[in-house]
A and B are shown apart, each in its own frame.
Chain A
Amino acid sequence: MSEDIKIGIQTKGLIEKKENLEGIFGMIKNAGFDYLDFSLDAFYTNPAVSPKGSGEFFAQSTEEILAYFAEHKEVLKKTGLKCSQAHAPYPVYVERRKKQNDFMKDEVIPKCFAIAEFLEIPYMVIHSNKLRYNKNGSIEKEIALNLEYFETLIPIIKKTGVKVCFENLYETGEEGIIEGSCADPYEALNYIETLNEKAGEECFGFCLDSGHLNLVRRRFSDFVPVLGEHIKVLHIHDNDGTADNHQIPYTFKGVGGKGGGADWEDYLSNLHAFGFNGVYSFETFTAMGGSPDKLKPAMLRTIYETGRYFASYSDKGTGLL
């Protein structure tokens, strides 16, 4: 395989517990992948988004947590897989939940940095805080809150070498999906440029989430050129335009273009236009979670081949017949 083709997949949907790590990592490697997006969010589903939320894992000491991941590190080395990125639990801030917010800021996020450093993960996605649709909230208040919070991360970013990526988000309103934090590329650019200037070096970048962009009906051609080389990591997945399905690209539109899938030509032509050379990383956990165990290797191979096509995309001689 060409050195510059880098394809990854998230661990969520594949590695939920510390069971058969070697078998699962081996299955991922056998499908062709070289990189993982380590889903640390799977270790703490916040009560704000799930009634099953439990903070037990992150209540352990950093030493205990790193000891837990020692086997992951060993199996990563053994299989030759590397982690290109991680995803921190979310949300970090929920209005009027001080105890939970303190736990996220003081325990969960710092321990995520420690895990990322331990597993040699260069980028970690942390969702920016949402305040714009709250009763007493506004976009201005949300931006101020985010700049204040993310600035506090600069020392730990410098200490661990784990850079933080903002991600384009959506929210669920009364009439369906609406734009969330960083859904506007100029808003994201403002965070990244302001915080990097404060840091005096590049500590912050961007994670382009294809599925979220499709949900809020924004075009890649309006988004990617604005952020350009600030785009450090990708969350590649598709959906029907109404729900965050986290599925395989090209599996939503039908004959005649009906259906709500993403415009992948627009995505690829814009990513390649600025020369994205990072990892083509898939966030397709429902494709894994929703298919029978025996079909998981076939699903993984399909995702990997899609990644190969994405990474080697050229707008000359490709496209639909």
Chain B
Amino acid sequence: MKTGIQYNINITKNEIKAADLDILGAEYGELFFAGGAKVVRINYTMLEQAVLDGALDDLSISGTEILVAETIGFKTKEEIEKLTSLLVKCLPGFKSAGLSVCIENGYVTDGTKIYEGPLGSGVSLSAYIDRLNEKAGEEFFKAAFNIGCARALRLQIIEHVKALGNKISVLYVSDNDGKADLRQMPYTFTSVHSINSAGWEDLMDHFSTYAQEIFIIGDVRGTFAVSPKELKGTFLSLIGEILGEWKSSNDYEQIELPVNA
């Protein structure tokens, strides 16, 4: 398990380093500022353009290991089929650039409310990835599960994480009020009755025994957008400690085989 933070213009590289996080995640459109990001999120339009520009190799050269296809706003079969065609067509390019590719759960919004789209649930995302891999002829595509997107849809998050099984390679961590995708700090939407908004304990328990390499990334853009600049380092340290706790509870990397195995 490796921990990371989604790049934000409001935080500095020194602050990121001080927060004891392993990697940097970034939006594709911010790569100019977030050089060296290992996990890069890209929407359909930008992916199409990146392929046309022959930019996949550049990503790999600059250190990117995983490309995450964002699906927020996808609502029709046609849109999904276009994504499928593009991903399958680009498979050789992904491979030659040494990139892994994950598909992220999303939602549909009319600007005021959030609705579950065809790739909103863990079940539907899992089925989609199966279909993609069938077309690819191999188990190439994986999942990036966004806890904040699932929380905004008021899903029972742990059930959707379990539905994805070992497909999850990237976990984006944020919290919200169950109405809007606020990208805020985990644990802070806990109610006065100590009900964990996103079911953080169940999620931590689940990933403590998760036997796959996984990048767990704090995607708390909302916190950095609304907090004063004097506190950004403090909040970054907090997300670093929260994710560090997830990492230390995961025993996947500590497994040592017996000498005679």
Contact = CB atoms under 8 A, between A and B. Distances in A.
Given A295-B242, A298-B242, A245 B192 contact: yes
Contacts of B238: 298-299, 301-302
Contact of B177 (A252, A295, A298, A319): A252
Interface string B193-229: 0101000010010000000000000000111011111
B114 to A, nearest CB: 11
Interface stretch (A40-48, A86-94, A158-166, A283-291): A283-291
Interface string B174-194: 001100111111011111101
Nearest to B204: A292
Given A243-B192, A255-B222, A305-B234, A321 B245 contact: no
B226 A320 contact: yes
B226 A250 contact: yes
Given A250-B223, A309-B231, A320-B225, A298 B190 contact: no
A302 B237 contact: yes
Contact of A286 (B176, B185, B192): B192
Q: Pick from A256, A257, A286 the residue with the most CB of B within 10 Å.
A: A286
Nearest to B227: A250
Contacts of A244: 192
A320 B231 CA distance: 10
Contact of B188 (A247, A257, A292, A319): A247
Nearest to B178: A240
A170 B231 CA distance: 30
B201 A292 contact: yes
A200 interface: no
A73 to B, nearest CB: 29
A288 to B, nearest CB: 10
A257 B226 contact: yes
Interface residues of A, number: 40
B48 interface: no
A321 B10 contact: yes
Contacts of A286: 190-192, 194
Given A309-B228, A319-B229, A290 B234 contact: no
A260 interface: yes
Quick one: which of A299, A302, A306 has the most chain B CB within 10 A?
A302
Contacts of A243: 191-192
A254 B234 CA distance: 17
B140 interface: no
Contact of B231 (A257, A259, A289, A305): A305
A240 B242 contact: no
Contact of A253 (B194, B222, B235, B242): B222
A316 interface: no
A246 B189 CA distance: 10
B229 A250 contact: no
Given A245-B192, A286-B194, A289-B194, A251 B180 contact: no
Contacts of B223: 250-251
A240 B189 contact: yes
Given A252-B177, A320-B226, A245 B182 contact: no
A248 B242 CA distance: 15
B9 interface: yes
A253 B188 contact: no
A43 to B, nearest CB: 18
Given A245-B192, A250-B227, A255-B225, A301 B234 contact: yes
- Most chain A CB neighbours (cut-off 10 Å) among B176, B189, B235: B189
A114 B16 CA distance: 49
Given A248-B188, A252-B184, A318 B242 contact: no
A264 B226 CA distance: 10
5 contacts: A247-B189, A258-B182, A264-B228, A286-B190, A320-B226
Given A258-B182, A290-B196, 5 more contacts: A250-B235, A251-B185, A253-B226, A259-B176, A318-B229
Interface of B: 9-10, 176-177, 180-185, 187-192, 194, 196, 201, 204, 221-223, 225-231, 234-235, 237-238, 241-242, 245
